[in-house]
A = this chain, B = another copy of it.
Amino acid sequence: MSDPIALVVVDAQRAFRLWEAAGKRRNNPDALDRIADLLALFRRTGQPIFHIRHENRSPGSSFHPDAEGYVVEEAAHEQGDEPVIVKGVNSSFIGTDLEARLRAAGIRRVAICGATTNHCVETTTRMAGNLGFDAVLVEDACWCFDLDGPDGRRHSAEDVQAMTLANLSGEFADIATAETMRVQLGSAD
């Protein structure tokens, strides 16, 4: 059997849909479909899957466990005994047992997707690379929002995403798409 690769799905929760409904502009409108494709691919090929959820217990947070935003998107719901790991900061590796679980399972490769590209996904990917995992960012299965800099300059979601890819590529991770992952995992379907 070839070296296993784990899919890490970061924060595919309804909060971002609510932000969008409230007027925030995002990129990659089909990203949840690509996450669904990846989940189907990893299930079909028997590769491990880790679902990450963001939780923030501050009153009024979109990610409060009692809030609608905390609920996982239907397309990204866990199945069977797939592990769900709850985090409280951007990195999926801080305050969680994700690293310990990956090492215990002998997993050295991770494919990362979810939201938002530049915050939780990018921080998780930087740490994955620096912790010694072979990391892949699946670019069309991630999304982010327009972002205002401290200088007042507005960066489009597309530019934000492009810079995340430029910063990560070759330094922390390889960049893939859901389709190149399908080819890489050799799935006939």
Which A residues have a C-beta under 8 Å from some C-beta of B?
89-91, 94, 118-119, 122-123, 126-127, 129-131, 147-151, 153, 155, 159-160, 162-163, 165-167, 169-172, 175
Q: Assembly of this chain: how many copies?
A: 2
The distance in angstroms between the C-alpha atoms of A90 and B163, with both chains bound, is 17
In Å, the complex CA distance between A149 and B164 comes to 9
In the assembly, what is the distance between CA of A175 and CA of B153, in Å?
15
Q: Are A155 and B166 in contact (CB under 8 A)?
A: yes
Known: A166-B150, A166-B153, A166-B155. A171 touches B90 (CB 8 A): yes
Can you name 9 extra interface pairs (CB under 8 A) apart from A122-B126, A151-B162? A90-B129, A91-B126, A94-B131, A118-B167, A119-B171, A123-B172, A147-B166, A150-B170, A160-B163
9 shortest interchain CB distances as A-B pairs: A149-B166, A89-B130, A163-B163, A150-B169, A94-B130, A150-B175, A91-B130, A123-B126, A147-B166
List chain B residues, Cβ under 8 A from A129: 89-90
Task: Determine how close the nearest CB of chain B comes to the CB of A138; give it in whole angstroms.
Answer: 13
User: Would you call B126 and A148 a contact (CB within 8 A)?
Assistant: no
Q: Give complex CA distance A171, B91 in Å.
A: 12
Taken together as a complex, chains A and B put the C-alpha atoms of A155 and B165 apart, in Å, by: 11
